[in-house]
């Protein structure tokens, strides 16, 4: 997999030899994005199955399933893929691998279809805001929130994307911006606090974000900072869409208050990594020494603030 922690300053492929390594890659955000970690979790479960069918095969499967499930708590795709491959693994290691490969292909196809359905929302010359990274790095391919932008751009439509930096890990500034640059789409990296002012100026006409879990009532968990964008968009009467494959919807989760929100290390807030003048990657503290920090990784946007959901089956205004 691509080591997303090094982008955009270095491009490196990580090889995970067993399910323990794949699990660590999910935990440390070497791979991230709901679809991508869902696929990775499925492959991790398949790796555990392929480790050798012994007398304690089912016991090892359960241990591996529990380990992978503990990697990250919020993204629905992780648990959906994990359970599907686990059930296949109970039949045979070959069935587990076949299922993991099929789920990855389904994720890629879902991203392509999301792009085809959502591209019609992109008008010539408009400004589009997105938050965090939900491009092809965040799925197996194509992306969710960025997929409509890619599809519209490839048809010759011209528009400008405003990519929130998405502190503390800066997925927007590092990953989304890098993807948009590779695609040749006009864009700006903006501070997380700038979006409402740009809305006020009339420079943003549409907001599309991805999702990590969507509850049965439509409440949506996404990267921290999404909620405030939705509130601002409602105030300025700007459409706010969630783009996600159906695997991100959790029918067993009644509402947003039931979505587990991952709390990550405060070190992510205190430290940033980037190249120095000589191109050497260095980590430096950017906050007041001695001060504590809170680092919720996600927030929940109530369904009342969401204009619609872009899925592989089309766009629905209410879920």
pLDDT tens for 162-196 read 999 999 999 999 999 999 999 999 999 999 999 99
Mean pLDDT of 190-215: 97
Task: Indicate the pLDDT class of residue 133, thresholds 50, 70 and 90.
Answer: very high
Q: Which of the listed CATH numbers 1.10.510.10, 3.40.50.1100, 3.40.50.10470, 3.50.50.60 matches domain 115-261+296-316?
A: 3.40.50.10470
Q: What is the CA radius of gyration of the chain?
A: 19
**pLDDT for the residue 55:** 74
Q: Which residue has the higher pLDDT, 199 or 140?
A: 199
- pLDDT value at 318 more than 80: no
Q: Six-digit token pair at 159?
A: 């528009």
**pLDDT for the residue 52:** 73
**Residue 23 main-chain phi, psi, to 5 deg:** -65, -45
Q: What b/e readout covers 238-249, taking b as 16+ CB neighbours within 10 angstroms?
A: bebbbbbbebbb
Mean pLDDT of 212-219: 96
pTM of the full predicted structure? 0.93
Mean pLDDT of 205-224: 97
The candidate with the shortest Cα–Cα distance to 296, out of 196, 226, 233, is 226
- pLDDT value at 319 more than 80: no
Which residue ranges make up each domain of the chain? 19-113, 115-261+296-316
Task: Indicate the pLDDT class of residue 208, thresholds 50, 70 and 90.
Answer: very high
**pLDDT for the residue 53:** 65
Neighbours of 229 (CB within 10 A): 25
- pLDDT value at 54 more than 80: no
Choosing from 141, 164, 212, 219, the catalytic residue is 212
Mean pLDDT of 58-66: 94
Average pLDDT, the chain: 95
Catalytic site includes residue 257: no
The secondary structure of the chain, three-state, reads CECCCCCCCCCCECCCCCHHHHHHHHHCCCCCCHHHHHHHHHHHHHHHHHCCCCCCHHHHHHHHHHHHHCCCCCCHHHHHHHHHHHHHHCCCHHHHHHHHHHHHHHHHHHHHHHHHHHHHHCCCCCEEEECCCCCCCCCCCCCCCCHHHHHHHHCCCCCEEEEECCCCCCHHHHHHHHHHHHHCCCEEEECHHHHHHHHHCCCCCEEEECCCEECCCCCEEEECCHHHHHHHHHHCCCCEEEECCHHHECCCCCCHHHCCCCECCCHHHHEEEEECCCCCEEEEECCCCCCCCCCECEEEECHHHCCEEEECCEEECCC
Mean pLDDT of 238-259: 96
What percent of the chain has pLDDT above 90? 93
Mean pLDDT of 205-215: 97
- The CATH code of the domain at 19-113 is 1.20.120.420
């Amino acid at each position: 997999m691509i080591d997303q922690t090094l982008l955009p300053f270095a491009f490196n492929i990580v090889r995970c030899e067993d399910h323990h390594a794949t699990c660590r890659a999910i935990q440390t955000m070497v791979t991230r994005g709901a679809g991508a970690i869902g696929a990775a979790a499925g492959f991790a479960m398949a790796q555990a199955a392929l480790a050798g069918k012994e007398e304690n095969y089912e016991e090892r499967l359960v241990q591996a399933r529990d380990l992978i499930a503990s990697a990250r708590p919020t993204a629905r795709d992780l648990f959906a893929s994990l359970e599907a491959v686990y059930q296949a693994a109970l039949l045979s290691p070959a069935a587990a691998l076949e299922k993991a490969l099929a789920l990855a292909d389904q994720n890629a196809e879902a991203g392509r279809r999301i792009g085809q359905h959502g591209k019609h929302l992109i008008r010539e010359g408009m400004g589009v805001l997105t938050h965090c990274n939900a491009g092809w790095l965040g799925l197996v391919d194509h992306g969710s929130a960025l997929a409509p932008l890619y599809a519209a751009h490839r048809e010759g439509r011209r528009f400008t994307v405003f990519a929130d930096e998405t502190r503390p890990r800066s997925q927007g500034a590092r990953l989304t911006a890098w993807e948009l640059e590779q695609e040749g789409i006009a864009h700006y990296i903006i501070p997380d606090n700038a979006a409402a002012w740009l809305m006020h100026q009339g420079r943003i006409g549409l907001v599309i974000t991805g999702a990590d879990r969507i509850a049965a009532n439509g409440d949506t968990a996404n990267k921290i900072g999404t909620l405030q964008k939705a509130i601002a968009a409602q105030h300025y009467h700007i459409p706010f869409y969630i783009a996600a494959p159906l695997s991100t919807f959790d029918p067993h989760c009644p509402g947003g208050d039931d979505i587990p929100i991952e709390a990550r290390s405060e070190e992510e807030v205190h430290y940033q990594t980037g190249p120095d003048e000589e191109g050497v990657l260095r980590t430096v503290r950017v906050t007041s020494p001695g001060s504590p920090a809170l680092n919720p990784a996600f927030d929940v946007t109530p369904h009342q603030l969401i204009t619609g959901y872009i899925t592989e089956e089309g766009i629905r205004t209410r879920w």
